[in-house]
Amino acid sequence: MRAIVFDLDGTLIDSLPDLAASVNVVLAARGLPALPSAQIEKMIGDGARMLVTRGFAASGAKMTEADLDHFLNYYTAHAADETAPYPGIEATLQELHAAGHKLAVCTNKPAAAAREVLAALNLDRYFTTITGGDSTQFRKPDPRHLAATLETLGTSNAVMIGDHHNDMAVAAGCNIPGIFAAWGYGHATSPYIANAATELPGIIRTLPGAGR
C-alpha cells in the first residue's frame, strides 16, 4: 500500500492561534506591539526560525537567537492550548490507517513541538514516523527532507499532502504525487486538490498506481 505523508500546520491541525500567541509573547518581551493573527498566518510554512524572523521584521526589528529560543520554549509548552485538528482529519486518519497505509508527518516545525502537539491531540498513534524541521539538515522545499521521511518508511511509493507550495515542491522533487490541502494557510498548484479532509481517501484511490 502507498505510504501517505502529511504536512502538519495548515494540513492536519489549525495551529494558528497558538503560533500567533507565541510570536506575540516574544514580541511583547522586546516591547514590540502584537501582530494580528491574519498577518502571522501568511508567515507560516517555512519553520520556526523564519516565522519569528518575519514577525520581528514586520515589527521593524531584528530577531536574535535569544528571541528564537524564547519562542521555541514558550511554543513547545503551549502548542496545544487552542490548536485543534481540522474537521474530518481524525476520521480520515482512521480510515487510511485501517486500509493499511503507513502514515507519516514531514513538517518544518521543530520535531519536539510536532510530537508534543500530536500527542496532546491524540493523533500521534496514527503515524509511523514524524520528521521535523530539525530532524535532518534539510527542510522543505528541499526534497531531501521528504526523502529522509520516505527512507524511514522504507518506501518510495508515497503521496505528499500539504497546504503550502513547499509541500508540492518536495513531492515533485521526490517524483511522487502531491495533494494540495485547500483548507490550510498556503497557496499552491497541483493536479490533485482536496477541499476537505474527508475527500483525501477518494483522491488517493484515484492516483496512478493506487493500491500498489
- Give tens-digit pLDDT for 48-70: 999 999 999 999 999 999 999 99
Q: Name the residue among 43, 74, 47 with its Cα closest to residue 56.
A: 43
What does the pLDDT read at residue 208?
85
What does the pLDDT read at residue 174?
97
Q: pLDDT > 70: what percent of the chain? A: 99
What does the pLDDT read at residue 212?
44
- Average pLDDT score, the chain: 95
Say if residue 211's pLDDT is above 80. Answer: no
Global confidence as pTM:
0.92
Distance (Å, whole) CA 97 – CA 105: 14
Q: Is 211 exposed, middle or buried, given 0-12, 13-18 or 19+ CB atoms closer than 10 A?
A: exposed
Using the structure block, give the residue that is written with the C-alpha cell 517555512. Answer: 46
Can you list the domains of the chain with their CATH numbers?
3-14+83-206 (3.40.50.1000), 16-77 (1.10.150.240)
Known catalytic residues are: 7
Q: Rg of the chain over CA atoms, in angstroms?
A: 17
Lowest pLDDT segment from 33-42, 74-83, 202-211: 202-211
Q: 179: which residues sit within 8 A by CB, 6+ positions away?
A: 159, 160, 161, 162, 190, 192, 193, 194, 200, 203, 204
Say if residue 11's pLDDT is above 50. Answer: yes
pLDDT 10s digits, 162-206: 999 999 999 999 999 999 999 999 989 999 999 999 999 999 999
As a whole number, mean pLDDT of residues 156-167 equals 96
Region of 175 please: left (phi>0), alpha (psi -120 to 50) or beta.
left
